[in-house]
Structure 1
């Protein structure tokens, strides 16, 4: 197994990510390494030369990228939609109205933040863009209530991760479609409804993790109150034509994705609605699109190169050998499920993207799950949870970078010790435990 091109390639990718190599570059290097070590070549070439193998590796990689074109387009259009919303005061007004009702009791405050964070993934798909708007003005309130910011980080990360894992709307529709596509690419036929009917179970360990974190971090913690000059007087903001147009765009995007199950179509029509209502100024259309690409473009390209990487892993023929070795090492469902989730944890922490992990692990997990006797439902759950594990806790993940960007506004919140480690403990450990039990014994 140690000479297996798939095994060497994945280990190389993890090492590069650990040493903070750019994620996209790490995947590209690992993909080329897998192709060269596997000696992949066109079927009519019996003894390929180095140049033939390299050329075929690159072409396989590029062709494999097409598998995630819809996902990449979804990310870009959703980024444009989020950028357009952020250029209005809609999110600020919405958050300000809600924040008036969440400052009375500590536990209600934290739960409310988790719920608002959930909205950013499905209802108003602005991703982490709401955090710099919401959190800095509330820091003074948190300091007075002596709230431990580690609890706030856990609440925000819960809302950034749980909706896309469990609910097929917004970013969740992208996530669930990715699972469906990659399982089909690896010879297991499933539908979107199959995935959605299983993945809601992943919300259970996340809720347990949130409840545990809020209990553990319930004790008062002192912070120094530092006066910050915030640019806006939030109380004087009102809904104007731009804000109503943005709201109309959100509603259109939400309804279309529900009706047709297509996030790109929903996002596109939402953007057109915002242009027609002048929420997106015609003369500033390029600026809005550039902002959206800046917000989501890198993640979209990570999705593309991850799909290309998965294509090369399948082409090497090393997956079968690795599956047999892993099945022998696992010895049964319970150990097999645990090992698969652990591998998913390592890959996702390295890459920092649950979405980018799916094409890589699906190529290995689909045949391995069949070899170990897992049902299709259990395989769906294993792939979904294995991809989600590590999103919380990864220093490179938006689910941790977002909360830190708001909580460290006054320089009193450490990214690793106050966000990454707490979210790793309270979300990844329950996901591993419940993921192993559910897949091995219940599904």
Structure 2
């Protein structure tokens, strides 16, 4: 009798492949529409208000910087929710991922109502602290008191985008945001000119867009059939996780406030030019952030499922996409430079000041493509403490150039040179972290 043939060992399960470029694009392109919608609206708003004159444009610049706290908190809610919820989704717990979104929404409503109260009381003093022209300060305060009414809805939309990105649904947010801001882009010129509301008309258009978007995200959350009750233990975990992002956001806000305050002291024309330059920068930054959104969802899911090698391989592909994307934006903005100034204002003094901004804006775009893509990798990994420290160090490196502008008379060149220093330091630190591999911690929750 022949001895039994030994059984062949079972083949090893296939090794999970890193995210394909097609998969990255399938998540990034709808996110691009979402991210680009608001800055496109703000560019339209800047162009509409710019034709009212230098004072309303300066008022929008100051008011927009102060109001920038709201989208900053919205980004914290979105990124913090994605960082936690994507791991749960990767571990097979979709209901747990959506539950993170519920608590994020409660936090959004509370923060938004607090902002309304604070701005209605302190709009005037804040504008006075930032500005150097009483007419510009008054315009900024008037705009702020209306624009802040949309803050709770803006923050709810941020939390909604967070949990939807985590479950790798970027198409519904695309439609929610696109519809609301398309309506607002139509309302802004109508309310500013034919309705005769001037600068305040732009604030009402802004608030309407945010309200529509926020309601659509609330309805989507309700359709998930999960408990909408407050969950204090889960919310407390979100608050701890969001703490690092809040510090990071405050650092960004210090940078924005400093740049706007110094530009205001350079002159009204410089402040108007800085507003145009910053809106173009924010547009490019948020559009480039589409790759980061894809990275958050993919990296978080890989690490939640216990696949660190796959996450590292996906991160390398995401870096390549970020570089290419930044170069595309460089070419696009460079090609449009001859026509951009006239789109925003006919004021010759503002045009002259814009000439100091263009070289910095164009050359920083490829750097931004890499930095923002890798931001998404580290946020998806929940590496929020490093993100906090990196941001504080890089902004602290650039701020001296901004403030020394007042001493040495560097004007907008000094302000934007400070932005360049901050971005280059940030690039170096984030590439070092990616190479270290210390960010790739697995599990449904990051310890």
TM-score (norm 1): 0.31
TM-score (norm 2): 0.30
- Larger helix share, 1 or 2: 2
